[in-house]
Amino acid sequence: MKNELYFDYHHQKDKEIGQRIALRRVALGMSQAELARKLDVFGISRLMVTRWEMGLSSVRACMIVPLAQALLCSAAYLLGEQQDAM
C-alpha cells in the first residue's frame, strides 16, 4: 500500500509538470520539436518532450533549470510552486 501511494504521488507530480511544460510551450507558439532542439545539447528528443508532457517520464532534476530557460519561465512554475510563469 505504501509503495502504491508513493507511485501515485510521483506519477501525479510528473503529470502536473508535463501539463505545465505543454501549456508554456503552446503559449510560446513552440512545437515539441523546437523545444527538443533547444535542449539537444542535453540529449533531449522530441519523443522525450512528448513523454514528459504526457506524464509518462519524469523530468530529471538536472533538466528543470535548462527546461525553464528554454520555456522562458521559472523553475518554480514548472514545479508547481508558483502560478505565474515568471
pLDDT of 12-50, one tens digit each?
899 999 999 999 999 999 999 999 999 999 999 999 999
Structural domain boundaries enclosing 58: 2-78
Q: Which residue, chain included where needed, has cell 514545479?
A: 79
Residue 11 has a pLDDT of 78
Query: For residue 12, how far is the Cα from the chain centroid?
Result: 13
For residue 33, what is the domain's CATH number? 1.10.260.40
60: left (phi over 0), alpha (psi -120 to 50) or beta: beta
If you average pLDDT over residues 52-63, what whole number do you get? 95
Mean pLDDT of the chain: 91
Write down the pLDDT at residue 84: 80
Crossing angle of helices 2-27 and 46-53, rounded to 10°: 120
Residue 30 falls within a domain, yes or no?
yes
- Determine the pLDDT at residue 83: 81
Residue 84, in any domain of the structure: no
Whether 67 is in a domain gets the answer yes
Name the domain count of the chain.
1
**10 pLDDT exceeds 80?**
no
Residue 61: Cβ within 10 Å count: 9
Residue 83 lies inside a defined structural domain of this protein: no
Q: Identify whether 53 is part of a domain.
A: yes
**Residue 56 has what pLDDT?**
92
Decide: helix, strand or coil at residue 6: helix
